[in-house]
């Protein structure tokens, strides 16, 4: 079949759910997908804000653990909807209403984020998460009924997701001593479901270009959260003490970091998701990318707190709160560029050197000053990008 799903006589009210053509031209994100993404802005903002507070109070270990946990729930729910929509977007009334239910689940999850950081209470997060996931089960069951060719894969997805959600609910009564062990086991189970369903059932007809665009749009959303959070922190610092040199340097360095990382992500050809294995590596690797990028915003806010002598985080700790997520983002983006053969920032030694320089600057924050260290990080990432682009151009000219 080609293009859109078969349309019943009732038009938008009800369409037959069929797998979309993965070779469809001009396949772009829909207005519903963009609206769906906006609800995740709230969830990402909540996670980053709570991480900032944890860093400022020097609760680094517990803050990072809570952040990694809630960000997984946010990312995994977004990712599952995105891949399903790429294959089965009918955009009719039932589809839109189930998407609305998932959006409501996102907001419930976001409202439960503070409790995870403060008390380790996952109740609201799990409720919101399960609401989103059970809505996805309903979508998969509909696909199984209306798309006979893809029924096997759809039923595998529905069964796998349902089983894991039952376990998430049961985990709420797990003794505290087993809380993180059971969490990691269930994360592994969630990650295994798509591979199990795609390999054991009929593969879904996701669109490589559409998937690449959706991930690109979410990257921009996360970077926008970094800018918004940093702006709020700068305004607060200026209102309290005026525009000091450290605040100015942090603002310039933060903007340079965001722009350089954006350039790194959007340099080169579109990701070549030619096989399921490559697609899974690329898709799963973005958890690290998204989480690291959002954490940069929290780190910049913590650095501004340190510059204004607020909170309890040391100057070195503030420098590393920015340097570590920047280094992680650099390394993962370099790995993903190589995995998808975009050829943009795939020179391993250059990327590694850039990450090491950034980390060294984080450790050197007491000597350089927090503002100077963060400005140096921005310049280091920009230099890493420039060196990679020069290397790629030199290789292409030699060919």
For 125, 160, 195, 282, the CA distances from 128, given in Å and listed in that order, are 5, 18, 24, 26
Closest CA to 42 of 30, 50, 53: 50
pLDDT at 344: 58
Q: What does the alpha-carbon distance between residue 221 and residue 35 come to, in Å, rounded to a whole number?
A: 12
pLDDT in tens, the chain (399 residues): 334 444 444 456 767 888 787 778 878 889 999 999 999 999 999 999 999 999 999 899 999 999 999 999 999 999 999 999 999 988 889 999 999 999 999 999 999 999 999 999 999 999 999 999 999 999 999 999 999 988 999 999 999 999 999 999 999 998 988 989 999 999 999 999 998 998 887 788 888 888 989 999 999 999 998 998 888 888 877 777 778 898 999 999 999 999 999 998 887 666 777 788 888 888 999 999 999 999 999 999 999 988 888 778 899 999 999 999 999 999 999 888 888 877 556 578 888 999 999 999 999 999 999 999 999 999 999 998 888 777 655 555 455
Domain ranges of the chain: 30-200, 208-398
Q: What is the crossing angle of helices 276-307 and 208-241, to 10°? A: 0
pLDDT at 10: 45
Give SS3 for 133. Answer: helix
- pTM of the predicted model as reported, rounded to 2 decimal places: 0.90
pLDDT at 7: 40
Closest CA to 183 of 70, 64, 47: 70
Environment class of 239 (CB within 10 Å of its CB; exposed 0-12, middle 13-18, buried 19+): exposed
pLDDT at 112: 95
Closest CA to 335 of 359, 356, 351: 351
| Max intra-chain CA distance, the chain | 71
Beta bridge partners of 15: 7
Beta bridge partners of 7: 15
DSSP letters along 125-162, please?
Answer: HHHHHHHHHHHHHHHHHHHHHH-GGGHHHHHHHHHHHH
Question: Cα torsion at 85, 224, 326, 247 (round to 10°)?
Answer: -170
Residues with Cβ within 8 Å of residue 165, at least 6 apart in sequence = 130, 133, 134, 137
Q: What does the alpha-carbon distance between residue 130 and residue 136 come to, in Å, rounded to a whole number?
A: 10
For 128, 211, 305, the CA distances from 164, given in Å and listed in that order, are 15, 25, 40
Q: What does the alpha-carbon distance between residue 222 and residue 60 come to, in Å, rounded to a whole number?
A: 21
In our burial notation (b when 16+ CB lie closer than 10 A, e otherwise), range 67-87 reads: bbbbbbbbbbbbbbbbbbbbb
Q: What does the alpha-carbon distance between residue 54 and residue 50 come to, in Å, rounded to a whole number?
A: 6
Closest CA to 378 of 330, 339, 344: 330
Give SS3 for 26. Answer: coil
pLDDT at 338: 82
CB 365, CB 319: distance < 8 Å: yes
CB 253, CB 375: distance < 8 Å: yes
Closest CA to 213 of 333, 33, 42: 33
């Amino acid at each position: 079949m080609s293009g859109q799903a078969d349309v019943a006589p009732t038009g938008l009210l009800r369409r037959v759910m069929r797998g979309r053509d993965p070779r469809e031209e001009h396949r772009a994100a829909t207005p519903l997908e963009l609206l769906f993404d906006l609800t995740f802005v709230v969830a990402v903002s909540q996670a980053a804000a709570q991480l900032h507070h944890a860093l400022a109070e020097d609760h680094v270990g517990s803050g990072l653990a809570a952040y990694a946990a809630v960000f997984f729930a946010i990312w995994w729910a977004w990712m599952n909807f995105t891949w399903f929509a790429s294959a089965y977007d009918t955009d009719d009334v039932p589809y839109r209403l189930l998407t609305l239910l998932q959006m409501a689940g996102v907001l419930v999850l976001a409202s439960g984020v503070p409790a995870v950081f403060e008390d380790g209470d996952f109740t609201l997060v799990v409720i919101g998460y399960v609401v989103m996931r059970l809505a996805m089960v309903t979508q998969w069951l509909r696909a199984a009924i209306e798309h006979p060719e893809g029924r096997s894969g759809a039923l595998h997805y529905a069964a796998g997701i349902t089983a894991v959600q039952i376990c998430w609910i049961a985990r709420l009564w797990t003794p505290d001593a087993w809380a993180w062990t059971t969490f990691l086991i269930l994360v592994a189970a969630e990650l295994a479901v798509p591979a199990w369903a795609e390999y054991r059932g009929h593969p879904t007809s996701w669109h490589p270009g559409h998937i690449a665009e959706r991930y690109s749009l979410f990257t921009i959303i996360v970077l926008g959260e970094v800018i918004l959070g940093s702006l709020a922190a700068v305004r607060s610092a200026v209102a309290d003490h005026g525009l000091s040199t450290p605040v100015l340097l942090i603002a310039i360095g933060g903007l340079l970091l965001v722009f350089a990382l954006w350039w790194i992500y959007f340099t080169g050809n579109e990701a070549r998701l030619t096989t399921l294995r490559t697609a899974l590596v690329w898709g799963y690797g973005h958890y690290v990318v998204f989480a690291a990028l959002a954490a940069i915003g929290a780190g910049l806010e913590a650095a501004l707190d340190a510059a204004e002598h607020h909170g309890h985080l040391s100057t070195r700790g503030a420098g590393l709160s920015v340097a570590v997520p920047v280094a992680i983002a650099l390394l993962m983006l370099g790995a993903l560029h190589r995995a998808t053969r975009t050829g943009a920032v795939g020179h391993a030694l250059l990327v590694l050197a850039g990450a090491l320089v950034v980390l060294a600057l984080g450790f050197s924050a007491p000597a350089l000053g927090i503002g100077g260290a963060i400005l140096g990080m921005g310049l280091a990432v920009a230099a890493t990008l420039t060196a990679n682009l020069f290397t790629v151009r030199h290789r292409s000219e030699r060919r």
